[in-house]
Amino acid sequence: MVLQRQASLEEDPLELLELPVPEPRPDEVRIRVTVCGICRTDLHVVEGELPAHKLPIIPGHQIVGMVEKLGSKVVNWSGGERVGVPWLYRTCGECRFCRSGRENLCDNPWFTGYDADGGFAEYMVAPADFVYRLPANYTDVEAAPLLCAGVIGYQALQATGLQSQGKLGLFGFGSSAHIVIQVARHRGLEVYVVSRTEKELALARELGAHWTGRIDEDMGAFLDAGIVFAPSGELLVEALKKLDKGGRIVSAGIYTTPLPGFDYSLIYPEKCLTSIAHTTRENVKRFLEIAAELKIKTQSNVYDLDDANIALLNIKRSKVSGSSVLRVG
């Protein structure tokens, strides 16, 4: 499914095309894709909230498949191994961020399905050092959402600073939030969930939320930290109003609408509003280890590859809860 030009999902911008099977470069592997998770970032790429880096482009960055062919310099993989490919496609390895262990802030990164063709296709190639072995106790459909929704949710949870106690707010309850709530509950955190849709609130209650409701409702407590998943600057400001002294709000999205002006009292005393960016390979590996231990329940809406426009439109219109996954191979 190829994006030739950025446009509204109502225009069905993704086209089903026959393309040549890609050949891996010396440091790459070719992967036969079985499934690919669908992310709100894909929506931002398709509709243009994120400026195009490469057109045409094949989106998709929660990829599960089998290694089919090795580049001439690849020694750490074998044909037939199941692998996953996330958002971070490759980094420069040379800038000050890469050299200091912060490759998520690389000055010259490539992202899967944005700078390089992704997983809305039967085949894709990826650098061998940026693909991952997946927990054996997950099916392909179950594993796909771990590769972005799970990884980013875990990174955002780490950024809150909460470990074994405290009140955590989740603002927006889509693919990422329905995974991170399970990690948070395992840590012993009380989780408060805000959403506009009853379907998402019902899933949150099923997964153990202490409180669920809408942003204008009283939670009955102030939060120690919160994660905002919805791409709304207004919601970021509203989340600050729910925060106790010394708390932190983490924006987990790659895009959000502009923040409205707000009173200084919303960040005083010692309240923090911050964001996370992308991920690191070490973070992906650590989260996949945790996922293997916890056997996180991922709820997925499964579509055929040629229904990618419909799947993304359903996410845009908040018609689904949990994750969405394309069945490719």
Segments making up each domain of the chain, as ranges? 2-148+278-327, 150-275
For residue 329, pLDDT beyond 90: no
Q: Which helix (H) or strand (E) holds 169?
A: strand 167-171
- Identify the pLDDT of residue 220: 97
For the chain, percent of residues with pLDDT exceeding 90? 99
* 150-275 CATH choice from 3.40.50.150, 3.40.50.720, 3.90.1150.10, 1.10.150.120: 3.40.50.720
Domain 2-148+278-327: assigned CATH number? 3.90.180.10
The 10s digit of each residue's pLDDT in 18-29 is: 999 999 999 999
For the chain, percent of residues with pLDDT exceeding 70? 100
Handedness of CA 184, 295, 103, 51 (dihedral sign): negative
User: For 170-176, what is the mean pLDDT?
Assistant: 96
For residue 274, pLDDT beyond 90: yes
Alpha-helical runs (H) found in the chain: 40-47, 96-99, 140-143, 149-160, 175-187, 198-206, 233-241, 281-294, 308-316
For residue 279, pLDDT beyond 90: yes
Handedness of CA 129, 130, 131, 134 (dihedral sign): positive
Residue 101 — pLDDT band, cuts 50, 70, 90?
A: very high
- Identify the pLDDT of residue 203: 96
For residue 106, pLDDT beyond 90: yes
The 10s digit of each residue's pLDDT in 223-252 is: 999 999 999 999 999 999 999 999 999 999
Tokens 């509950």, located at residue: 185
For residue 327, pLDDT beyond 90: yes
Q: What is the pTM of this model?
A: 0.94
